[in-house]
Structure 1
Amino acid sequence: MHEVAAAGGTAVLVRRAADGDQLAWRELVDRNESVVWGVSRAFTANSADAEDVCQATWLLLAENLDRLREPESLTSWLVTTARRESIRLTKARRRETPAGLGSPLLDRPGHGDDPERKVLRSMANSRLWQAFSRLSQSCQQLLRVLSVAPEASYAQVSQALGMPRGSIGPKRGRCLAELRKQLLATEVPEEAAG
């Protein structure tokens, strides 16, 4: 974090950023980027869409900095905005994307291993995504948020997903147990099911 953090809380940073202070803006982004990314990724089908949602969320904040009614609740505003933008984009994508092309299977990074390892990893990843896709939508969203923003607090995750904070840990455990069950049902090798 930058030296501006010592200058005050979120409301002070919002006011300073609205006045054009680039360090205050950078601090606001640094404090909240993982939450915005986590919400965006949880509610979109792939990384490219999540990046679009993040960009739209930050743009909306920049356009509305001086109009925030409760600047100390900036994180809540960002979570709500990212969720709404994700839903808006998802609805737009449904109208334009042929069925099956929005699959997370198309959103995997490449690996620079030898060919045998690449094939084995590809098979394991494919089975993992198949098992993941059989989870309920709420489990998929929760696991995505927790995996892309592991430093997010349960309060932030609760707000992002609209679920009670006390249910996040138990639901996470149930979702991971179901994912493991799905993986074992698809006969993933032991090291991949881990």
Structure 2
Amino acid sequence: MTEPGHSCGTAVLVRRVAGGDERAWRDLVDRNGGIVWGAARAYSATRADAEDVWQATWLSLAENLHRLRDAEALPGWLVTTARRESLRLARARRRESPAGLDGVLTETADDGGDPESAALRSVLAARLARAFSQLSGRCQQLLRVMAVAPEASYEQISRALGVPRGSVGPKKQRCLRTLRQRMLALGGVEEPEVAL
């Protein structure tokens, strides 16, 4: 059985949203949420920035719904809007941080382990962040999407990043290989030894 709203096309949902139907809005967000999140995360340095981009994208849709010419093109519009919002936010962040440090991989969870393990994880995370920052922008975007949305299909990833579907797998392999080489060059594939 299909949920209400999922059996109708995007154009019908958009018309219902324009008419003030809150259920249609929720259905529209549910239907397109994954692609918006994927694009937001791909182009945002941190999860918090991606959440800001997510909200700004949906707000922009609410403000511009009446301007939408082709409702069936909505997924592309959402991806483009998320990408632009991410780039706008990144420019603002660079103005805030003269060194351009975005902390992309330094957001680590404290699992309450012993101090030695925490120190080792911190050193490894710093090396990983440094190796990751040396990757091309496209590799960073692709690996971010795959890290935050591992269940996303190659089709969804290709739409979120605006790349051909057939290039996602090979590009992922090249990016991971390059990241591993950079980690090896930094001496960070294995956990570093700590002098006692």
Does the alignment reach a TM-score above 0.5? yes
Unaligned runs of 5+ in 1: none
Tell me the alpha carbon deviations over residues 60-81 of structure 1, each in whole angstroms, 9 at most, x when there is no partner.
1111223321112221111000
Partner of 2:18: 18
Return the alpha-carbon distance in structure 1 between the equivalents of residues 170 and 189 of structure 2: 27
The structure richer in helix per residue is 1
Partner of 2:99: 99
Question: May I ask how many residue pairs the two structures share in their alignment?
Answer: 191
Return the alpha-carbon distance in structure 1 between the equivalents of residues 75 and 112 of structure 2: 38
Do the aligned partners of 1:53 and 1:85 also contact (CA within 8 Å) in 2? yes
Do the aligned partners of 1:36 and 1:54 also contact (CA within 8 Å) in 2? yes
Q: Out of 147-156 and 134-143, give the one that drifted further.
A: 147-156
Matched residue SS, 1:3: coil
Return the alpha-carbon distance in structure 2 between the equivalents of residues 10 and 56 of structure 1: 21
Do the aligned partners of 2:53 and 2:86 also contact (CA within 8 Å) in 1? yes
Return the alpha-carbon distance in structure 2 between the equivalents of residues 139 and 101 of structure 1: 18
Do the aligned partners of 1:15 and 1:66 also contact (CA within 8 Å) in 2? no
Return the alpha-carbon distance in structure 2 between the equivalents of residues 119 and 78 of structure 1: 41
How far residue 190 of structure 1 moved from its aligned partner, in angstroms, is: 4.0
Return the alpha-carbon distance in structure 2 between the equivalents of residues 35 and 155 of structure 1: 10
Unaligned runs of 5+ in 2: none
The 5 A counterparts of 1:60-99 are: 60-99=60-99
Partner of 1:178: 178
State the AA in 1 paired with 2:80.
Answer: T
Give the percent of matched residue pairs that are identical in Structure 1 and Structure 2: 62
Do the aligned partners of 2:180 and 2:189 also contact (CA within 8 Å) in 1? no
Partner of 1:54: 54
For normalisation by structure 1, the TM-score amounts to 0.86
Do the aligned partners of 2:39 and 2:83 also contact (CA within 8 Å) in 1? yes
Partner of 1:126: 126
How far residue 31 of structure 1 moved from its aligned partner, in angstroms, is: 2.2
Q: Out of 31-40 and 91-100, give the one that drifted further.
A: 91-100
How far residue 90 of structure 1 moved from its aligned partner, in angstroms, is: 1.7
CA RMSD of aligned residues (A): 2.3
Q: Alpha carbons of 1:15 and 1:151: their partners in 2 closer, same or farther (altered >3 Å)?
A: farther
Matched residue SS, 1:4: coil
State the AA in 2 paired with 1:184.
Answer: L
How far residue 15 of structure 1 moved from its aligned partner, in angstroms, is: 1.7
Do the aligned partners of 1:132 and 1:179 also contact (CA within 8 Å) in 2? yes
Matched residue SS, 2:24: helix
Q: Out of 14-23 and 70-79, give the one that drifted further.
A: 14-23
How far residue 57 of structure 1 moved from its aligned partner, in angstroms, is: 0.3
Return the alpha-carbon distance in structure 2 between the equivalents of residues 190 and 138 of structure 1: 26
Return the alpha-carbon distance in structure 2 between the equivalents of residues 109 and 26 of structure 1: 31
For normalisation by structure 2, the TM-score amounts to 0.85
Q: Alpha carbons of 1:116 and 1:185: their partners in 2 closer, same or farther (altered >3 Å)?
A: same
Return the alpha-carbon distance in structure 1 between the equivalents of residues 154 and 123 of structure 2: 33
State the AA in 1 paired with 2:109.
Answer: P
